[in-house]
């Protein structure tokens, strides 16, 4: 992948991330919707206390759907390798650091309906060897569905997503074909260009969240290279961010 394709042109991290942590907004009218990958990036780095600290300064809701809960808590609870992280994420749910949509009056059945709509469209956009290419799963699609429902309630929201494919779909869908071809090492054909349903979403990554953590002095680590350590920790635990992007973030300081 060349440099231009590798870099998804996102809004400057200093503006996009910090804007959502403006404490002037009413708590019930602002939310971050977490996809599984972002929470897994935090969990695999043992950064549960950092999530608590971010929630304190956000003055809004940290939301997960039932589908995401299934992926980060229910399923891994039965896998010994991931059981501890699942228990600790569940504790965040019990403490209401993370909350389910029902906490703001949104029904799971309404999210399921929207989830199915997004999955149906997304997973019929491309095909390979005569078969449709699956690019969105339940968790990611449910996050999109919840965002739409929050918009209908006039609740400002942003998606916290670390996975590159869905971010390209939301931000630069014209680059998705080449991304999928490199990812799957196969020829991908466009079946549909119905991208309209994926427009208008706001997206941040775990790297932007740890940047906010750093800028607000919430990390208990006070050494000079703490921002570098936080950003690379997220990259190596799954966040799709390039080395160049990390260096750009560090220059913002």
pLDDT at 174: 85
Torsion sign across C-alpha atoms 233, 62, 136, 196: negative
Q: Which residues pair with 34 in a beta bridge?
A: 160
The angle that helices 206-215 and 226-236 make with each other, rounded to 10 degrees, is 160
Domain boundary assignment for the chain: 12-105+144-169+201-245
Strands laid side by side in the 30-34 sheet: 61-63, 30-34, 156-160, 203-204
pLDDT at 5: 40
Is the pLDDT score of 96 beyond 90? yes
pLDDT at 129: 84
Mean pLDDT of 155-180: 92
Given the candidates 3.30.420, 3.20.20, 1.10.10, 3.40.50, the CATH classification of the domain at 12-105+144-169+201-245 is: 3.40.50
Placement of tokens 């206390």 in the chain: 49
Choose among 34, 41, 81: nearest CA to 60.
34
**pTM attached to this predicted model:** 0.89
Q: What tens digit of pLDDT does each residue of 182-226 get?
A: 888 888 888 777 789 999 999 999 999 999 999 999 998 988 899
Mean pLDDT of 228-250: 95
Is the pLDDT score of 230 beyond 80? yes
Least confident range from 80-89, 90-99, 110-119, 188-197: namely 188-197
Placement of tokens 């703001």 in the chain: 104
Q: What tens digit of pLDDT does each residue of 6-37 get?
A: 444 444 444 455 566 665 545 558 999 999 99
Placement of tokens 């996102």 in the chain: 10
Least confident range from 3-7, 62-66, 115-119, 120-124: namely 3-7
pLDDT at 2: 42
pLDDT at 9: 46
Choose among 9, 38, 17: nearest CA to 211.
17
Mean pLDDT of 64-70: 98
């Amino acid at each position: 992948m060349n440099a231009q394709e590798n870099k998804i042109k996102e809004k400057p991290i200093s503006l996009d991330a910090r804007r959502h942590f403006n404490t002037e907004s009413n708590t019930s009218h602002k939310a971050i919707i977490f996809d599984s990958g972002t929470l897994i990036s935090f969990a695999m780095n043992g950064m549960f206390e950092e999530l608590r600290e971010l929630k304190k300064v956000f003055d809004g809701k940290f939301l997960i759907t039932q589908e995401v809960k299934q992926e980060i808590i229910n399923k891994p609870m039965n896998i010994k390798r991931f059981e501890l992280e699942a228990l600790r994420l569940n504790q965040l749910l019990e403490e209401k650091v993370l909350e389910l949509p029902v906490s703001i009056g949104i029904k799971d059945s309404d999210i399921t309906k929207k989830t199915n709509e997004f999955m149906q469209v997304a997973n019929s956009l491309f095909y390979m060897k005569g078969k449709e290419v699956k690019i969105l799963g339940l968790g990611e699609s449910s996050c999109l569905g919840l965002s739409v429902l929050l918009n209908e309630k006039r609740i400002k929201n942003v998606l916290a997503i670390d996975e590159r494919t869905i971010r390209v779909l939301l931000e630069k869908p014209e680059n998705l074909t080449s991304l999928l071809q490199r990812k799957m090492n196969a020829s991908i054909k466009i079946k549909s260009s119905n991208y309209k349903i994926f427009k208008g979403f706001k997206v941040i990554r775990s790297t932007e969240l740890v940047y906010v953590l750093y800028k607000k002095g919430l990390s208990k680590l006070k050494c000079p290279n703490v921002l570098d350590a936080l950003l690379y920790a997220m990259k190596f635990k799954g966040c799709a961010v390039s080395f160049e992007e990390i260096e750009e973030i560090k220059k913002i300081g």
